[in-house]
Amino acid sequence: GGLEILFANQKKYDLDLPAKDESGEPANVAFLVRHLCDKVMKDPRKELFVLDDTVRPGILVLINEADWELEGEDKYEVQKGDHIIDVLPPHVDPSIREVNDVLLGTGGITYTICYVLMARQSIRDRTYSMPLFSLAFNFAWEIVFALYVAEEPREKTMFTIWMLIDLGLVYAAVKYGANEWKHAPAVGRNVGKIFAGMLAWWCIALYAVSSWWVDPVNPVNPKVGKAYRGVKGIDTDELGFMTALVAQLVLSVMSLAQIMVRQSSRGSSYTIWALRFIGSLAGLTLNYGYCWMESDDEDLKLAMAMSLQEVSPRATRDATAIAKNEPIDLISDSDDNEDGDLRRAIALSLQESGNKDVQQSSATTVPKAAGLNNTSGLMGMDRKAMEQERLARLGKRKRDVSPERPSKQVARPPAVKAASDGTPLQYPRGTIKRTFASKYPRTDDITIDELLEASTVNIAVISSFQYDSEWLYEKLDPLKVKQIWLMNGKYRGEDVQAKRIQEWKESGVPNMKLHFPPMGGMIASMHSKFMLLFGKHKLRIAIPTANMTQTDWGEVANDWQPGIMENSVFLIDLPRRPDDTATKKGDLSAFGRELLYFLEKQEVGPQVVDGLLKFDFAQTSHLAFVHSIGGSHKIETDHPTGLPGLAQAIRELHLDDVEHIELDYAASSLGAIDDNFLSRIHHAARGESFTKDNALVADVRNSIRIYFPTHDTVEKSIGGPGCAGIITLSPHCYNAPTFPKECMRDYDSMRRGILSHNKLLFARGRKKDGKPFAWVYVGSANISESAWGGQKVLKSGRIGSLNIRNWECGVVMPVPDAKLQSLEQGGLPSMDVFAGTVEIPFRLPADKYDGKRPWFFSP
């Protein structure tokens, strides 16, 4: 036997594991994990292991090869039948384990002797020692824990022994029960049936409580170091303690009542009572009281420690200077004033400030400086309470959270190009990745920390529809990184810019500026998502489908929870130009020109635009930046936007002149879709302009598939309906007679049980010369005229204005010609053609709706 390791790139390695640990004792799983993490892996992240209850030959562990350093011919051996055991957290003294074993063992032995003596005394006195209600409770407890809850062999053995001993007590109750019910003959004749009913009731009740407690999605009171059936955090010891405590309390009260009613101690003795007392004291009270006691005053201790910190006079003076709202340079890359800025920011964090509760105006929150006194969190938002409410909603439904094994993907080694300092760029020609999802196997994904590379960033310009500011502060510290946040200036039609600016000023965050793109007229939403991460030697441009929130980036508040939402992100690294010179706008690639034009229309300011021109866009010629600029637009030849902009991008990439095209569009929001709108998407994807002569494409519904979750898919997801508020479709739109229902496909993620916030348009087909082509759009635009623009043929025959209600942006990335050359000339590429360019996040072929109800939600 041994351990077979399967890496994400499909390479396999076999390791024999040591039979003995360093001390010469037989190796167990704790030693196995320690060895693999400390001796084999470069990056010891134990949570990457996926282990079954029992370690057995041939178990698969999914891991990224880059995290491993195989040590040649080292031979090790595993002990067959080893089990995963509870791992003591670092702060727990190892002696706790020995104390626990002694106390629990004492309790188990005394309870066993006690039950044997009770059965013997019952038969001797021709009665039953344990009251019927308590006997049913105890017998059901042993049945449920022996057959359902217990994992460890010693626990199963002990509970089974108690269950068998209880059979003696049940026998005595059924055989001699009538002797105690002579005053009620009907009860005496049916003691067995009454007991059977009580037993069934207690079995159902205990099973329900246990299932609720060990729910892998939302376990009750999870603890670090505990694990159950491969899920970290679940504490069955506390479940056993709580339920056994109730059972023993009920037994004690009812046993006293039984003696008082009988006016006799028949079926009992001082020895039995003494053994029960010792067993309860050792196995319950002392064991759990001593070994599993928790303290909840860590926050209080931290607060007291912080309150004792001294504030220097210099810091106080700097805090006063900051309060004057002096302007902050958000664009300069100079480090000359870094120490001064940092000193003033620290001073600000020490400045006393009264708590202010400001009503949250929308899903976007205005940041508050780290360190300011605020007991209820940012802007009066109690994040702990909100998280508890969300988990409570999740707890209403039990779900299977076992992730599917990832599909085979072609590994894409990143191209290497040097930055201006000689440091290799990680993504010099761009890439598309899935966002990380907690507790799911890593494939071609990326975490928010891996994307940001915060230690290399001096300035960050971020655009998002929603922000979780406290979470983002943990990722990009405003004391170290200068930041501009582009925000949505309207909330349900109300202009909230002034309110948010005032809240931001009151928060006193250093190195921060809020910016609101123009929102006049018909513009309803600033929905574009991008990140411009300026470093000393490179610029990283990221265009995600995700908002800047913890949920959208696959992270969770508790390390035992799986992620609930997935997204995608395009990113590219551009080197700084030699001698820090700026390129001319006319010399930029089409990608660079459209990006700068979009930023100018969003009025981010000349400093941001000038900063971009200091980086080299030469490696973006194979890409297209596609935008939707809010407002009403006439025909624009230089910088078309919306669907006309997509059409121009396809032409500039030479992906037009199409004979046949197939479109697969995954979205998280659907608007009022009809054949006219689908035809316009179809034309734009072919690189064609929308005219009165081609307004409607024949059989357009046969060439477009729309991926959106059904109601059942959301219900069965890990997050459930409570986490699907950003996935929107109104019944009014869907039930319209013009809605293309036959295009709908159920979005079922490759990561089992996760919801999607993706906006991905996959296009594949063949040109008129027979050559195949394929490309993918990733960005913020959903399937709606608000995102891409509404445009109609007027009665006069002219094409009307393009009306766009949202700010949007995205990127078109073609599948490389080298990948297409192997395809059959004149054939239609399958969805497999995207392997190596983008990881398709949903299952194919997807299920048709066929009368299924979509997920409905209207914000």
Q: And the tokens for 646?
A: 């997509």
Could you tell me if 196 and 173 are in contact, meaning their C-beta atoms sit under 8 angstroms apart? Answer: no
Q: And the tokens for 369?
A: 């400086």
- The phi, psi pair for 648, rounded to 5°, reads -65, -40
Which of helix, strand or coil describes residue 15? strand
Instruction: Compute the distance between CA of residue 587 and CA of residue 601 in angstroms, rounded to an integer.
Output: 20
**Nearest Cα to 803, choosing from 792, 815, 814?**
792
Instruction: Compute the distance between CA of residue 78 and CA of residue 92 in angstroms, rounded to an integer.
Output: 27
- What is the CA 635 to chain-centroid distance, rounded? 42
Cis peptide before 721 (omega within 30 of 0): no
Catalytic pick from 35, 515, 527, 627?
527
Instruction: Compute the distance between CA of residue 467 and CA of residue 448 in angstroms, rounded to an integer.
Output: 14
Cα–Cα–Cα angle for 195, 200, 202, nearest 5°? 95
Instruction: Compute the distance between CA of residue 105 and CA of residue 282 in angstroms, rounded to an integer.
Output: 9
Instruction: Compute the distance between CA of residue 744 and CA of residue 230 in angstroms, rounded to an integer.
Output: 36
Burial class (CB in 10 A: 0-12, 13-18, 19+), 464: buried
Give binding residues for substrate as ranges: 529, 759
Catalytic pick from 35, 633, 682, 757?
757
**Nearest Cα to 595, choosing from 580, 581, 609, 607?**
609
To the query of whether residue 91 is one of the catalytic residues in this protein, the response is no
Cα–Cα–Cα angle for 83, 88, 90, nearest 5°? 140
Q: How far is CA 102 from CA 92, 108, 272, 580, in A?
A: 17, 10, 21, 70
Instruction: Compute the distance between CA of residue 743 and CA of residue 700 in angstroms, rounded to an integer.
Output: 10
Q: Enumerate the H helices of 410-512 as residue ranges.
A: 448-452, 469-475, 497-507
Return the half-sphere exposure (C-beta side, CA atoms, 13 A cut-off) of residue 447. 13
Could you tell me if 170 and 195 are in contact, meaning their C-beta atoms sit under 8 angstroms apart? Answer: yes
Instruction: Compute the distance between CA of residue 270 and CA of residue 416 in angstroms, rounded to an integer.
Output: 81
595 sits in which H/E element: helix 590-601
For residue 739, give the DSSP letter: S
Q: Say which residues have a Cβ less than 8 Å from residue 315's Cβ, sequence separation at least 6.
A: 343, 346, 347, 350
Q: Say which residues have a Cβ less than 8 Å from residue 642's Cβ, sequence separation at least 6.
A: 628, 629, 633, 788, 789, 802, 804
Could you tell me if 812 and 650 are in contact, meaning their C-beta atoms sit under 8 angstroms apart? Answer: yes
3-state percent breakdown (helix, strand, coil) of the chain, nearest 5: 40, 15, 45
Q: Enumerate the H helices of 675-790 as residue ranges.
A: 675-685, 711-715, 731-734, 785-788
Cα–Cα–Cα angle for 116, 118, 124, nearest 5°? 105
Q: Enumerate the H helices of 335-480 as residue ranges.
A: 338-350, 383-394, 448-452, 469-475
What does R_g of the chain's alpha carbons equal in angstroms?
Answer: 33
Q: What is the dihedral of CA 763, 764, 766, 767, to 10 degrees?
A: 30
- The phi, psi pair for 12, rounded to 5°, reads -125, 145
Q: Are strands 760-767 and 755-756 parallel, antiparallel or unpaired?
A: unpaired
To the query of whether residue 527 is one of the catalytic residues in this protein, the response is yes
Q: Say which residues have a Cβ less than 8 Å from residue 611's Cβ, sequence separation at least 6.
A: 331, 333, 459, 534
Instruction: Compute the distance between CA of residue 856 and CA of residue 710 in angstroms, rounded to an integer.
Output: 9
In the block, which residue shows the tokens 């995102």? 787
Give binding residues as ranges: 529, 759
- The phi, psi pair for 423, rounded to 5°, reads -75, 130
Provide the residue type at 695 as one letter: A
- Show which residues are catalytic: 527, 757
